[in-house]
């Protein structure tokens, strides 16, 4: 978000379950930053509009049951426009098994690609994220766009 603001983007929304997390981010960028702050559970959120880009670092991996994951992916599809793109980072398969005391699911790029049915992968990557406390947390990154049906799709 900070980098998008620095580049002049003005249609930004930040969603988190935690009002404390939102307050910290809001304090960092200032009250006048053109950001909509949404205190919502991503699995129950009902987006009122569509977005060009969905960016999630280290949220999806907290959803460890199939129903929550399915709901997240459904919400993401609702929130993205027909040419929407998604950038996601989760803990990698050799990443930590817990985060902030909570169990997490870990993914390789192939597993995320399977979950993002209907999206075309643009890029995948790995990051050795280092926490402020100096702990290394391997992340899997993916970028994908909504797959466009070709003009001939569906014809015999």
Ligand X SMILES: C[S@@+](CC[C@H](N)C(=O)[O-])C[C@H]1O[C@@H](n2cnc3c(N)ncnc32)[C@H](O)[C@@H]1O
Residues forming contacts to ligand X in the complex (CB under 6 A) are 16-18, 21, 41-43, 57-59, 62, 99
Of 96 and 108, the one with the shorter C-beta distance to ligand X is 96
**H-helix or E-strand containing 112?**
helix 109-115
Count of residues making up the chain:
156
Of 41 and 65, the one with the shorter C-beta distance to ligand X is 41
**H-helix or E-strand containing 126?**
strand 119-130
Q: Whose CA is closest to 33, among 63, 1, 61?
A: 1
CB of 4 to ligand X, least distance (A): 14
CB of 150 to ligand X, least distance (A): 35
CB atoms within 10 A of CB 60: 22
CB of 1 to ligand X, least distance (A): 9
CB of 29 to ligand X, least distance (A): 13
Of 43 and 145, the one with the shorter C-beta distance to ligand X is 43
Cα torsion angle, 90, 96, 97, 103, sign: negative
Of 14 and 121, the one with the shorter C-beta distance to ligand X is 14
């Amino acid at each position: 978000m900070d980098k998008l603001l620095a580049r002049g983007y003005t249609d930004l929304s930040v969603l988190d379950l935690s009002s404390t997390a939102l307050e910290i981010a809001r304090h960092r960028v200032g009250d006048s930053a053109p950001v909509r702050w949404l205190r919502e559970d991503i699995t129950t959120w009902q987006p009122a509009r569509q977005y060009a880009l969905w960016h999630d670092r280290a949220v999806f991996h907290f959803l460890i049951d199939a129903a929550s994951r399915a709901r997240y992916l459904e919400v993401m599809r609702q929130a993205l426009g027909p040419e929407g793109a998604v950038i996601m980072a989760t803990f990698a398969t050799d990443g930590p098994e817990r985060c902030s005391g909570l169990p997490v699911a870990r993914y390789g790029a192939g597993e995320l690609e399977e979950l993002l049915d209907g999206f075309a992968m643009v890029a995948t990557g790995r990051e050795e994220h280092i926490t402020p406390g100096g702990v290394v947390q391997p992340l899997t990154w993916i970028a994908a766009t909504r797959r466009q049906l070709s003009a001939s799709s569906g014809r015999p």
